[in-house]
Amino acid sequence: MRVAVIDLGSQWTHRIWRTLRDLDCESEILPPDVSFSKVADADGLVLSGGAVRMGKGEDSKVSKCHALLDEFKKPVFGVCAGQQFIALHYGGSVAPAKMPEYGNTELTIIEPDDLFAGLPRKFTVWASHNDEVTKAPGFELLASSPDCKWHAFKHAKKPLYGTLFHPEVAHSQHGEEIYANFVKVCRR
């Protein structure tokens, strides 16, 4: 099992890599301009978070990932800026958050899904964002917080997932289980 991690500049990218390693996945951290040939044999991709402000159109670093999303047909999991990038790539909208979140927030599962299999309906997660998805056509809402509607989603037809919160951060409850659930999706 191999899951490639595309580093969009997050301070926590290494924690994604470590979590995947702890789940017995072969993993490596790669730059956003990586060639498709370097990830073609991966069973899944994770797009990390990053400091880029997607809601202000600052996507020069991550814009190199458009081709990866077009070519990679296996599961993809976007975290924070990675989630926002996925939404934008598929025709959604991202804007400055009405209420930016930094720190613990309560996540409520709206729609049960494989990504949250075996988890309680409400739990605490770590959020660190100034922007948020405002529209995501073709995506199903999976989870929200009191201040953010689109905290987690999945594509209705493709194996694409995204969370605005950071499951890799120790403050997020059930973070390793969320990554384990994503790995299970990749194994199918």
pLDDT in tens, 66-96: 888 999 999 999 998 899 999 999 999 998 8
The H or E element spanning position 150 is strand 148-155
Could you give the CA distance from residue 69 to residue 95 in angstroms, rounded to a whole number? 21
- The catalytically annotated residue of 89, 129, 166, 174 is 166
pLDDT at 26: 96
Q: Which of 5-19, 57-71, 159-173 has the lowest mean pLDDT?
A: 57-71
168 is catalytic: yes
What is the structure's pLDDT at 55? 58
Q: Is residue 36 over pLDDT 70?
A: yes
Stretch 37-46: mean pLDDT, rounded?
Answer: 96
Question: What gap in Å lies between CA 82 and CA 58, rounded to an integer?
Answer: 13
Per-residue pLDDT for 118 more than 60?
A: yes
The one catalytic residue among 89, 132, 168, 186 = 168
The pLDDT value recorded for residue 97 is 86
Confidence of residue 12 (pLDDT cuts 50, 70, 90): confident
Rounded CA-CA distance 45/51 in Å is 19
Number of domains in the chain: 1
When pLDDT is averaged across residues 103-132 and rounded to a whole number, the result is 92
- Residue 60: which domain range? 2-187
Identify whether 166 is a catalytic site residue: yes
Q: Quote the pLDDT of residue 61.
A: 67
CATH of the domain at 67: 3.40.50.880
Alpha helices in the chain (DSSP H): 13-22, 66-71, 81-89, 175-187
Q: Give the mean pLDDT of 40-63.
A: 78
Catalytic residue of the set 80, 101, 129, 186:
80
**pLDDT class for 1, splitting at 50, 70, 90?**
very high
Instruction: Specify whether 80 is catalytic.
Output: yes
